[in-house]
Structure formats: C-alpha cells, structure tokens
A and B are shown apart, each in its own frame.
Chain A
C-alpha cells in the first residue's frame, strides 16, 4: 500500500488497524517532498526530524495499546501563517525570516493532540496577501498540473502539497478566497468554515474579521475528518464560536433529495472562461442527479464584493501589520538610522525596517488601509465599505431563505501562467470576485474539482452555505464526489 495514494480517511484507518505505521506514512511523505518539492516549492520548511519523532510516538502509542487520536499518523502540511513552536513561522515574509514563535496555534495544538504528523510549513503569499502565491518572499509555488502556472493563493503551498500527494491533507487560511481559489486551481478540495468555527489563535492575522482557518484535502470527506479535529470553541479567541462540533464524517450518508441549490445567473457573465463555465454548469447537473433542485437566485450586491473587500481587508491589515516594526521580533534594518530625513532615529528605524521587510503587495495594502482609515477618508471608504458589507450579508440572508446552498464558480479562469498578472495589482484583486463575499458575510464555502480544461487544468466548483452549514456543505460535496471522479485525478509530475 502506497500511503501517499490514500485518502485521509483511508490512511487514518490503515494506521489505526495496523496495516500501515505512522512512520511509513511520514517517510513516504518526506520522500515524495524530497523528490518533488524542489520543483514545486510548496514547503518553506520541512521538519523531517520532528515529523518522524511524532510518527514514532504514534506507533509507540499503538504498540502500547493506548488509544490513538482521530488523525493518528496523518501527514499534514500547515500554512506558514500558523504559529508552530518548533518550526519557523514566516508568513513567507522577509520580515519574519527565521522567526520562531514561543507557542502553537490552536489548530496546530489540536492537530498534535489528535496524533496528526505535521510534516512542515507551506508556502503562501506574503502575509496571505495575494491570489497567485507569487507574493511569497521565498519564491512562487508552481502548479503541480503545470509548473509554468500559478497555484492561486494565498494558500498555494497547502493546495500544491496535497495536489502533488506530498501530504495527505493540509491546513490553509481563507480571508477572501485563499483556501478555495488555490484548491480550485490545483484540483483539490478546500473548505472555508464559518467565521469563528476554527480558532484564529496563532494564525498570523491579515484581516481579523475575515480570516478563517480551514482544511484542504483530496475529498470533502477528508476535509470533514480534519475539520472535526480543528473546529471547536477556544476560550482564548473571543471570536471563536461556542457551538458543538458535529461529527462531519458521520453525517455524509443522507441523500441530497430536497436540498435546494441556488445558481446566480450573474456569475456566468462575460469574464467567465467558457471552459470553466461549462464545467461549473455540468456541476449543477451532477448535484441535480444527486437529488438536489437548482434555483436561480440573485445576490444583487455581489458585484460590490471586491471593492468592499479591498477596503476592509487592507484597513484591518494596516493595523494588524503595525506590530512588525523591528522592535520586539522580526527584521530590523542594518542602516545606521542617523538621517535628517526622518523625525528621529527611531522613526527612521521603523520606516526602513518595514520598507525592507515587506514585499510590494504588503506595502500596497498597508498603504491603502492606512489611507482609507485616515482622517477625512474614513467615512468615504472604510465606513461605506462596512455599510455595503451589511448589504452583502443581507443578500445572503435573503438567498438562504430560498435555497439551502449556493453553487457556482470559484475562479473565472483556470490556473494562469506565472507572471501574467504580477504587474497589475487590480487584475489580481479581481480574481477574488467569486470568493470574497463568503468572508464578508462570515458564512462557509467549499471548493472542489468539477472538471478539467482541454489542456488538462482542473476547474473548481464552489458551494456556499449559511453559517454553521458545514455538515450540509460537506454532504453535498461528498455526494458530488461519489458521482464523479475529478477529485481522484492526480497530476503526472512524478
């Protein structure tokens, strides 16, 4: 049995019943990373020794007859935006190069407690700002389906490491589509849970009212399995939901009969690639075949989503990233800081350290957010964006009174060539068209493969559900995957 070819559900079962050891699974993952990742660049850090030690501990536990955790032996890649006490946590930024936090993110602690094996930290857009993973200070991730193309972002490394079967599952974070969009472009399944479903403690903040951690894997069932472990109330995150965590993987059996799925005609406008449109429309047919009914609905303010998002997220980011000032951790300039051009040596140290530590996209967003919050512009930009955010949420509330889920595309195009959009920030922002509104409303969404283009690139299908509708979302995606084989396809990289 080749561990890297198994689903998470299969692998965990095989470890639990002794068909595979955790060490064998970990070694297989490490071997595959060693063979492939020089080309892919999915990992920023691989914790070979730590992973093997964790795997040995799992095997020892089993040998001693002790009960195993629900993810025992599962090789997991974790986005480098989550704090890990025994590994660097850089957010793919020069600012945090070599930074080691003194604590584990809640999600990381839960993974460890569930006996998962954390293989390493995955590449991403710097501070999760980007939609192509080209904003990493440590180089872009290459799409396993075509190494000349981008993975999407910002959780590009987490998508690619699963797509290339280096690990069985991974953890990403999604502020405006950063799990769903790379999942779609890399042909894997990625879930953005309801805001507050997974603790944000230890997730390096980008935009606090939008950020949400979620699982990525080859299937909805795998995502459900990981979500069972990472979801749940964290008393140390004030915005964590105090709601029981359903056994998602036990709730997949009920058929979709009677489930109403909304389709937004406006999603199928001019900008949508025809091959993507065709695959997504075919996705609706599959869900229909599974028993769901399809209903056209309207999200009238969705077209303002990107503009709203690109005010709120940068505003929050400008504040969240103020802490990177060269004083307490992270990069500090080596310049002498004695220039008269600044108010004081301290101010010069701040300005130079931040200018050197942040990449261009981070600077752009910090500038945009600082501007939109500054005196005289607050009402016109930030406040207005919050007002439109309410309208967008009302659209969803209205829609979810008529349908149970909303289906549609994840991205307007399949994976695009590296470098194609790097000179046009706005074009890059528009890639988030179909995903940002989920975060603005705080609801949940999932992306999974619904077909391939003629040139062999995966196409993603997105389902969105109301707050805490993860059981239905996963069930619908799982039903889809029982009827299709798209999620079983693997790139031929090796």
Chain B
C-alpha cells in the first residue's frame, strides 16, 4: 500500500497542515509505510463483525436543563491569540 504525494497533499489540505516540499516527501514515505503496516487487518474476514466504536456499553447519560454561570467574557477570550475585548478575531471570513 503506498500513497502518492498528491494523496498526501490532499490529506494535508483537509487536515489544515502546511507542509513544505521536504515534509511532504517524507510524510508520503512514512505514511505509506504505516498504511502498509495497518493494512495487515485486511487479512481478517470481518464481514460478519459489528464495529465496536467504544468500550462502554452504557446508554442514556443526560444532564438536567438547569442553567449555570458562564465564564465572564474576559476569561472566555483571555486565551485568544487575537481579540478585541469582546470577540475572537480571525482573518476575514468571506461572506457566503
């Protein structure tokens, strides 16, 4: 199982990771190797097996609809790399 550079480049775009040419090259090599390894699972016949996404068998966990205090706005935005005292700021989100 090997991935093309183009595959890896598309995945990087999806994962929002800017990779340099060198990193892309190395990532392609490494991911190909890892994907080749995990493809070991293909040798098992799993057609009749239900996927198990979670180890817990519990269901129906709820909380009651009772309000609690929110964070003060200063604290909510305190950690933001860029803010104006009220809102988080990001490079322009184009109207759509």
Contacts and interface: CB of A to CB of B under 8 A. Distances in A.
A328 B34 contact: no
A310 interface: yes
Given A307-B37, A350-B16, A390-B52, A99 B42 contact: no
Interface string B34-50: 11011111101010011
B34 A368 contact: yes
B44 A347 contact: no
Given A387-B46, A441-B55, A351 B14 contact: no
B17 A363 contact: yes
B31 A389 contact: no
B19 A374 contact: no
B67 interface: no
A350 B88 CA distance: 14
Contacts of B55: 195-196, 209, 393, 440-442
Contacts of B46: 384, 387-388, 391
B15 A387 contact: no
A330 B81 contact: yes
Contact of A367 (B31, B33, B91, B94): B31
A55 B29 CA distance: 52
Nearest to A311: B38
Contacts of B27: 363-364, 367
Interface in A320-361: 322, 325-332, 337, 342, 344-352, 354-355, 358
A100 B11 contact: no
Tell me which of A347, A386, A440 has the highest count of chain B C-beta atoms within 10 A of its own C-beta: A386
B61 interface: yes
B42 A102 contact: no
Contact of B56 (A354, A389, A442): A442
A452 interface: no
A344 B17 contact: no
Tell me which of B7, B12, B42, B92 has the highest count of chain A C-beta atoms within 10 A of its own C-beta: B12
Contact of A368 (B31, B79, B93): B31
Given A99-B79, A209-B53, A345-B92, A354 B41 contact: no
Contacts of A366: 15, 17
Contacts of A64: none
A293 interface: no
A96 B38 CA distance: 30
A175 interface: no
B90 interface: yes
| Chain A: interface size category | 35 or more
Contacts of B38: 307, 310-311, 372, 381, 385
A107 interface: no
Given A235-B63, A238-B61, A370-B11, A383 B31 contact: no
Contacts of B16: 322, 325, 347, 350-351, 354
A196 B44 CA distance: 29
B52 A386 contact: yes
B34 to A, nearest CB: 6
Given A304-B40, A358-B17, A363-B17, A389 B61 contact: no
Nearest to B77: A328
A367 B15 contact: yes
A388 B43 CA distance: 11
A393 B90 contact: no
A301 B40 CA distance: 12
B70 to A, nearest CB: 11
A295 B12 CA distance: 48
Given A346-B90, A368-B34, A393-B55, A387 B49 contact: yes
Contacts of B92: 344-346
A400 interface: no
Given A346-B92, A346-B93, A367 B8 contact: yes
A75 B78 CA distance: 30
Contacts of A100: 79
A368 B58 CA distance: 29
A354 B18 contact: yes
Contacts of B18: 342, 348, 351-352, 354-355
Contacts of B23: 363
B25 interface: no
A328 to B, nearest CB: 6
B69 interface: no
A326 B12 CA distance: 17
27 contacts: A99-B79, A100-B79, A102-B71, A102-B78, A239-B54, A239-B58, A327-B88, A332-B81, A332-B82, A345-B92, A346-B92, A349-B91, A351-B16, A352-B18, A354-B16, A364-B34, A366-B17, A367-B12, A367-B17, A367-B27, A370-B14, A371-B7, A371-B11, A387-B46, A387-B52, A389-B51, A390-B52
Given A326-B81, A429-B37, A442-B56, 9 more contacts: A239-B56, A307-B38, A307-B39, A311-B38, A345-B92, A348-B18, A367-B15, A367-B17, A368-B35
Interface of A: 99-100, 102, 195-196, 209, 235-236, 238-239, 241, 301, 304, 307-308, 310-311, 318, 322, 325-332, 337, 342, 344-352, 354-355, 358, 363-364, 366-368, 370-372, 374, 380-381, 383-391, 393, 425-426, 429, 440-442
> Which 4 residue pairs are nearest across A and B when measured between Cβ atoms?
A442-B55, A386-B51, A332-B81, A329-B79
